[in-house]
Amino acid sequence: MRIAIYNHKGGVGKTTTAINLAYSLTKFNPECKVLFADCDKQQNAARFFCEKAASGISESRYKGISVISVADPAELPVSSEEYDFMLLDMPPALDSRTETLLAAADSVIVPVELGSFAVQGIADVTAAISRSETVFLGALVTRFDRKNSADVEMLDLIRHQLGAKVFDTIIPQSKIICNSINYRMTAAEYMGWLEPAKCFDRLAAEVIRKGTAIC
């Protein structure tokens, strides 16, 4: 299953989500093989996973996770059957390159940071997705601050508008998540016993469930 993690808005948690999701998917099942396609020229995820930049597919420092840096959509492997999941960490752009990358995915997860432009942002992204045959797997609320009433109201609004197309899992705004990446660790490695880290395991379970339903 090829899943793009995409929102054209920058800094909403695409790369953080993709890295931690890859880790949880392989943690759930030691047999699981994930190909992580870093499609962003920033190469943050490729640097996170691998000691050195390499061309083609290379092993990461995590068992079960391989990495490929994709500058041009043509570099995406045509067949990824040997992998259970291919995760595409998408760049913050809405252009022909991102549309080509989206078209190469089976489904798309849209991380959303709740703010006044969040709803319009989702509409722009779902419009781009609908121009391809890719399935909109759902909006994933990230960086959620439950103490902020504006975030709580916006979550209600988005759930009302999108219904089941909003993931039950919510990724909180958390120093554990932010710091773990700064220490070049997944949230589970950094403080896996705490709630913010556990949410990625719940996300992985939900992705498997939703993904199986569309296959």
User: CB of 13 within 8 A of CB of 113?
Assistant: yes
Joined tokens for residue 150: 């504006």
Among 12, 50, 110, 129, binds ligand ATP (CB under 6 A): 12
Shortest separation between residue 171's beta carbon and Mg ion, angstroms: 14
Shortest separation between residue 157's beta carbon and Mg ion, angstroms: 25
CB-nearest residue to Mg ion = 15
- Site residues for Mg ion, window 7-26 (CB under 5 A)? 14-15
Among 173, 188, 192, 197, binds ligand ATP (CB under 6 A): 173
Task: Select the span of 53-61, 64-72, 94-102, 176-184 touching ligand ATP (CB under 6 A).
Answer: 176-184
Joined tokens for residue 172: 């909180």
How many positions of this chain bind ligand ATP (CB under 6 A)? 18
User: CB of 132 within 8 A of CB of 102?
Assistant: yes
Among 1, 3, 6, 16, binds ligand ATP (CB under 6 A): 16
Q: Is 69 in the site for ligand ATP (CB under 6 A)?
A: no
Task: Give the residue with the Cβ less far from Mg ion, 14 or 143.
Answer: 14
- For every residue of the chain, DSSP letters joined together read -EEEE--SSTTSSHHHHHHHHHHHHHHH-TT--EEEEE--TT-HHHHHH-SS--SS-EE-SSTTEEEEE-SSGGGS-S--TT-SEEEEE--S--SHHHHHHHHTSSEEEEEEE-STTHHHHHHHHHHHHHTSS-EEEEEEEESB-TT-HHHHHHHHHHHHHHGGGB-S--PBP-HHHHHHHHTT--HHHHHTTSHHHHHHHHHHHHHHHHHHHH-
Q: Is 177 in the site for ligand ATP (CB under 6 A)?
A: yes
Q: Cβ of 57: how many Cβ atoms within 10 Å?
A: 15
Q: Is 210 in the site for Mg ion (CB under 5 A)?
A: no
Which of the choices ligand ATP, Mg ion, none does residue 56 contact, using the CB cut-off of 5 to 8 A by kind? none
Q: Is 140 in the site for ligand ATP (CB under 6 A)?
A: no
Shortest separation between residue 44's beta carbon and ligand ATP, angstroms: 6
Joined tokens for residue 162: 């999108």
Shortest separation between residue 118's beta carbon and ligand ATP, angstroms: 13
Q: Is 27 in the site for Mg ion (CB under 5 A)?
A: no
The footprint of ligand ATP (CB under 6 A) covers: 10-16, 40, 44, 92, 142-143, 171, 173-174, 177-178, 181
